[in-house]
């Protein structure tokens, strides 16, 4: 289609220049009257604009006559469009007693998306050897915006947003009718962004957590400099009867990426949950819905995911070995900020810490001989997690199997992947609904129906996630496929609130 557009444009250009030359020659032959310079300039500009408009219209008409959408991006700016898979509205009356089904004056339908957009400042050609021109920002940026326009989310959490491209994001979200908030650690070239449909939401408040600067439980500090943060915003519902007292708290985060960073991710997940709990406990936010989403750099079988979704948290066998092993790892002086102020991913992608023969080699051992200090520290962090009275319910893990069973893990219900890179692929990104938990029903399986009943939420549908067998052999991003090495997740949900809420 790109070639056809170029041909139509080229033909129009030829027609324009040919017509212009004939017209000019003819006019000179007919009259030699002098026209005021200013009037000549105005008329000339008007004529050029009219001719340009005619050329554009001819191009559009040519594409329309061929059955093509003239507003659709050219092939190099397209992506693999995925459908929204709707959960059947036919509920089993004997299994579902919730009143939260049909939309009412006390409900709001929204789409929530999380997306790691791949910071341009982190791109190195050797990390993406097959991506070619798809890595160029002037192309990727248009594909990313095209994706947002296609899926029409109402709340968007983006990770790896380049600070020097913030103007681009502000302008494009503004065109979509969105307001946004952006935060980053001062040492990073990229950060987190939360955007919301300003017809449905109004910003109430916002918070930023610098994980490196906060002690977990006032005692456990960061083991290395990570520069990771969380951005939390509270959004009031607009145009509702109790708009001033109802809303949603949205937390966006990007946890530490390092292969031996399990303990730090476990610590960071505690910090963001603790902050959400603190916000939910404030009287102003009683009854508000709460979400936590982002790139957690952890898989469903790993401790950070389990810590978010399970209460009480128990770590045994290989999952505990993973945490203890990560405590034994010694990060490099560069990573700890003792020798360099560079952005961490710039130099540490293949870091193996200090040159120490005793360094652990496998970040996921089945067994690990931990010291008493390491065991005590792990126990301390587990206790902190279990002191929380909130936990996360993965929305995809909860109901994705109902719409795409062949791509939902039997154990945790999550899809296979959200990341398709050159050296690794798997699931790293999640959308959690944060609910209050009394720690008594922990490990108990929770059905979608029970979740909806308890929280005043109706899950309407999920953006389809690809299976591994559907993905190409080459990594992403790739022209005409995906604009990032991550794949966006999106849920459509219906939120209810109590009219008598005070």
CB of 125 closer than 8 Å to CB of 133? no
Query: How much is the CA Rg of the chain, to the nearest whole Å?
Result: 27
Q: What does the H/E/C string look like for 436-489?
A: ECCCCCCCCCCCHHHHHHHHCEEEEEEECCCCHHHCCCCCCCECCCECCCECCE
For tokens 């050296």, the residue is 423
Cα separation, 309 vs 110, in Å, equals: 23
For tokens 């041909």, the residue is 7
Q: Which residues pair with 458 in a beta bridge?
A: 494
pTM of the model: 0.82
At 12 the pLDDT is 37
Pairing verdict, β 429-436 and 390-394 = antiparallel
Cis peptide before 224 (omega within 30 of 0): no
In this structure, the number of other CB atoms found within 10 A of the CB of residue 113 comes to 22
The token duo for 120 is 């341009």
Q: Which residues pair with 111 in a beta bridge?
A: 492
CATH superfamily for domain 96-496: Endonuclease/exonuclease/phosphatase (3.60.10.10)
> Mean pLDDT in runs of 10 for the chain (502 residues)?
39 36 38 57 83 85 72 78 86 43 77 98 93 94 96 98 97 97 95 97 97 97 96 90 76 97 98 98 95 98 97 96 96 71 46 62 95 97 97 97 96 97 95 83 67 94 97 95 97 83 41
At 61 the pLDDT is 84
At 21 the pLDDT is 36
Instruction: Name the nearest CA neighbour of 345 among 429, 446, 261.
Output: 261
At 65 the pLDDT is 80
CB of 431 closer than 8 Å to CB of 112? yes
At 421 the pLDDT is 94
In this structure, the number of other CB atoms found within 10 A of the CB of residue 87 comes to 17
At 335 the pLDDT is 77
Query: CA separation (Å) from 215 to 24, 211, 229, 274?
Result: 77, 8, 14, 12
At 363 the pLDDT is 95
Cα separation, 20 vs 27, in Å, equals: 11
Pairing verdict, β 247-254 and 289-295 = parallel
At 68 the pLDDT is 63
Domain locations in the chain as residue ranges: 2-72, 96-496
Q: Which residues pair with 192 in a beta bridge?
A: 183
- Chain center to CA of 234: 18
Instruction: Name the nearest CA neighbour of 59 among 2, 1, 3, 12.
Output: 12
User: Which DSSP string do the residues of 130-159 spell out, in sequence order?
Assistant: T-GGGG-HHHHHHHHHHHHHHH--SEEEEE
At 35 the pLDDT is 56
Cis peptide before 312 (omega within 30 of 0): yes
């Amino acid at each position: 289609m790109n070639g056809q557009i170029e041909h139509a444009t080229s033909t129009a250009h030829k027609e324009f220049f040919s017509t212009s030359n004939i017209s000019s020659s003819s006019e000179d032959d007919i009259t030699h009257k002098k026209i005021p310079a200013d009037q000549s300039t105005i008329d000339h500009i008007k004529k050029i604009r009219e001719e340009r408009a005619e050329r554009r219209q001819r191009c559009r008409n040519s594409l329309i006559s061929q059955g093509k959408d003239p507003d659709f991006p050219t092939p190099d700016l397209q992506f693999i469009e995925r459908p929204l898979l709707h959960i059947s509205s036919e509920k089993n009356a004997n299994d579902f007693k919730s009143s939260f089904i049909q939309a009412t004056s006390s409900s709001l339908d929204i789409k929530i998306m999380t997306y790691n957009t791949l910071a341009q400042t982190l791109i190195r050609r050797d990390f993406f050897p097959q991506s070619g021109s798809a890595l160029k920002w002037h192309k990727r940026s248009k594909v990313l915006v095209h994706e947002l326009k296609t899926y029409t989310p109402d709340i968007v959490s983006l990770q790896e947003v380049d600070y020097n491209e913030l103007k681009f994001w502000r302008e494009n979200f503004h065109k979509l009718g969105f307001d946004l908030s952006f935060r980053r650690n001062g040492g990073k070239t990229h950060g987190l962004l939360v955007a919301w449909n300003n017809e449905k939401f109004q910003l109430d408040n916002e918070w930023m957590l610098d994980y490196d600067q906060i002690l977990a439980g006032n005692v456990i500090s960061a083991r290395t400099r990570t520069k990771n943060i969380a951005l939390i915003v509270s959004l009031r519902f607009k145009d509702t009867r109790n708009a001033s007292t109802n809303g949603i708290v949205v937390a966006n985060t990007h946890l530490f990426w390092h292969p031996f960073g399990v303990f730090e991710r476990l610590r960071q997940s505690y910090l963001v949950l603790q902050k959400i709990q603190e916000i939910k406990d404030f009287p102003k936010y009683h009854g508000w819905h709460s979400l936590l989403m982002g790139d957690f750099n952890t898989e469903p079988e790993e401790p950070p995911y389990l810590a978010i979704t399970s209460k009480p948290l128990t770590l045994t066998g290989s999952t505990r070995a993973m945490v203890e092993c990560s405590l034994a790892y010694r990060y490099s002086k560069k990573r700890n900020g003792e020798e360099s102020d560079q952005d961490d991913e710039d130099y540490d992608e293949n870091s193996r810490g200090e040159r120490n023969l005793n360094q652990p080699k496998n970040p996921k051992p089945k067994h690990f001989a931990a010291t008493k200090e390491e065991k005590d520290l792990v126990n301390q962090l587990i206790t902190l997690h279990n002191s929380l009275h909130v936990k996360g319910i993965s929305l995809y893990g909860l109901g994705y199997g109902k719409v795409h069973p062949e791509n939902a893990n039997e154990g945790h219900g999550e899809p296979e992947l959200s990341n398709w890179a050159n050296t690794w692929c798997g699931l790293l990104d999640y959308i959690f609904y944060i609910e209050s938990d009394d720690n008594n029903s922990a490990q108990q399986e929770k059905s979608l129906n029970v979740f909806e009943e308890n929280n005043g939420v109706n899950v309407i549908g999920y953006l389809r996630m690809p299976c591994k067998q559907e993905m190409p052999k080459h990594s992403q991003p790739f022209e005409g496929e995906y604009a990032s090495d991550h794949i966006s997740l999106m849920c459509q949900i219906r939120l209810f609130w109590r009219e008598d809420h005070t």
